[in-house]
């Protein structure tokens, strides 16, 4: 069997949080194209259903849509229960849901701070923990968390201290879980994307001035594309990455090098 065949995900059961659109949908599409069955998890159930239907029709796999708030333990538990009822097992978790608020630190309310930390860091912990419990019983699995280059640098000119702190936390959480679960065959890695031009980002009038500034500084002179994150996630989800755990993959067009 050649390397391309070995990288397929046929028979794998995967959930993707924040999977209805953007990076989550793009990576879910790659998982489906590689043969995996999917649970598309999102707060927007209607959009999640559209994505699940599209993936099923285009790839001949099984995809379900689940509404869940990743900051609520009961929602995460119900999500896992539904996945196991439908698929019988869980092989890969892509803990991807997140938000960003561009608010000066001195003006940010504590509730705004907590909301970002709750979704971006606590939500990753809850979903990764829930996935890990299942995978430890099964004897293995792969967890992929979405961090950010913002866990390595301070973005300018936008003020986003809560986002930066949350993503730095995701990186260290990933490393900690990887070490704890290493001998039990549960691998935990994260990706740290740079500026990615999702449909929502590119169509936001308020972000256009920022995008122009980012691109002037960026070594490649542009934002990344969601599909440029697909191959690393397929690799991490599959069996060819069996020696890869505790790693943070920065995919930022060399932005953090400057």
Instruction: Quote the Cα angle for 96-99-103, to 5°.
Output: 155
The pLDDT assigned to 29 comes to 98
Of residues 12, 26, 49, 148, which has the active-site annotation?
148
pLDDT band at 237 (very low <50, low <70, confident <90, very high): very high
User: Token pair for residue 67?
Assistant: 């509404």
Catalytic residue flag (residue 195)? no
Residue 107's CB: how many other CB atoms inside 10 A? 8
Strand positions, DSSP E, the chain = 13-17, 37-42, 63-67, 92-95, 141-146, 186-193, 248-251
Considering the domain delimited by 3-252, tell me its CATH architecture: 3-Layer(aba) Sandwich (3.40)
| Average of per-residue pLDDT across 223-235 | 98
Average pLDDT score over the chain: 97
Is pLDDT of 203 > 90? no
Is pLDDT of 106 > 90? yes
Q: Residue 88 half-sphere exposure, CB side, CA atoms within 13 Å?
A: 3
Sole residue written with tokens 């065959």: 185
The pLDDT assigned to 179 comes to 98
pLDDT band at 132 (very low <50, low <70, confident <90, very high): very high
3-state secondary structure 96-128: CCCCCCCCCCCCCCHHHHHHHHHHHHHHHHHHH
Tens-digit pLDDT profile for residues 157-167 = 999 999 999 99
Distance CA 17, CA 95 (A): 5
Is pLDDT of 200 > 80? no
Of residues 25, 167, 192, 195, which has the active-site annotation?
167
| Average of per-residue pLDDT across 5-21 | 96
User: Token pair for residue 101?
Assistant: 């608020």
Is pLDDT of 246 > 90? yes
Distance CA 157, CA 26 (A): 28
pLDDT band at 206 (very low <50, low <70, confident <90, very high): confident
| Average of per-residue pLDDT across 8-25 | 97
Catalytic residue flag (residue 204)? no
pTM: 0.97
The partner residues of 171 in beta bridges, in order of sequence, read none
Catalytic residue flag (residue 150)? no
pLDDT band at 9 (very low <50, low <70, confident <90, very high): very high
Of residues 163, 166, 195, 241, which has the active-site annotation?
163
Is pLDDT of 204 > 90? no
């Amino acid at each position: 069997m050649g390397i391309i065949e070995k990288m397929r995900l046929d028979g794998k059961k995967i959930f993707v949080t924040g999977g209805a659109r953007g990076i989550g949908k793009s990576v879910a599409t790659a998982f489906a194209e590689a043969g995996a069955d999917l649970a598309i998890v999102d707060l927007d159930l209607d959009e999640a259903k559209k994505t699940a239907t599209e993936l099923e029709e285009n790839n001949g796999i099984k995809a379900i849509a689940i509404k869940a708030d990743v900051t609520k333990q009961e929602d995460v538990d119900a999500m896992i229960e539904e996945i196991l009822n439908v698929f019988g097992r869980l092989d890969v978790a892509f803990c991807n849901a997140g938000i960003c608020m561009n608010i000066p630190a001195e003006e940010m309310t504590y509730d705004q701070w907590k909301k970002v930390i709750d979704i971006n860091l606590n939500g990753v912990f809850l979903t990764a923990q829930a996935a890990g419990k299942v995978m430890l019983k099964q004897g293995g699995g792969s967890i992929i968390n979405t961090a950010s280059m913002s866990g390595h640098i301070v973005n300018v000119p936008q003020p986003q201290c809560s986002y930066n702190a949350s993503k730095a936390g995701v990186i260290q959480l990933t490393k900690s879980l990887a070490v704890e679960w290493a001998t039990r065959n549960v691998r935990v890695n994260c990706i740290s994307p740079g500026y990615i031009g999702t449909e929502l980002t590119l169509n936001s009038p308020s972000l256009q001035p920022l995008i122009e500034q980012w691109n002037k500084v960026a070594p490649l002179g542009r934002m990344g594309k969601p599909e440029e994150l697909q191959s690393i996630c397929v690799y991490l989800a599959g069996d060819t990455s069996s020696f890869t755990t505790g790693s943070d993959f920065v995919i930022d067009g060399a932005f953090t090098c400057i």
